[in-house]
Amino acid sequence: MPDTDPRAQIISLLPRLRRFASGLTHDGHQADDLVQTACLKALERWHQYQADTSLASWMFRIVQTTWLDDHRKRQRQKTDADTDALPDIEGEDGRQVVERRSDLRAVRAALERLPDEQRAVLMLVTVDGLSYQEAAHALEIPMGTVMSRLARARIRLADALARQGA
């Protein structure tokens, strides 16, 4: 990135970091806290950043590492997604809205049951749109591992949703 101010560079990545964190935590407030903690860590460790590496990859790695550390401490403390807080769409059949919310819950539950490694790869590639190579770099794993984790995640997700009828 052309701007040398680390704060400006990190600020430009905030929407992507928040999407990734939301996918990991399944909770908007936890995602915000995670991104904030990761940004603080990045600024504290800015001297460790190597200019020839992707800032996005470096930040995704910090977010993931921070989340894993916190996740391990809490031993899988689960929270329910508050899909009731979703706004109703005007003019739609209430039954369709309920069915969509039910589908959303099923997808979130299936995502939550994925192994952490598969969920992280799935979020980076399918939600944030990173290439396999970019995801591999961000997670510091071989590209083949990204491909196999992504394939296994997609299969597990599809199987779980098929079993639930979603």
Q: Tens of pLDDT along 55-86?
A: 999 999 999 989 888 877 765 444 444 445 55
pTM greater than 0.75: no
The structural domains of the chain, ordered by start, are: 1-77 (1.10.1740.10), 93-166 (1.10.10.10)
Query: pLDDT tens, 73-130?
Result: 765 444 444 445 555 555 555 666 555 566 678 788 888 888 989 999 998 998 888 8
Instruction: Give the span between the Cα atoms of 111 and 154, in whole angstroms.
Output: 10
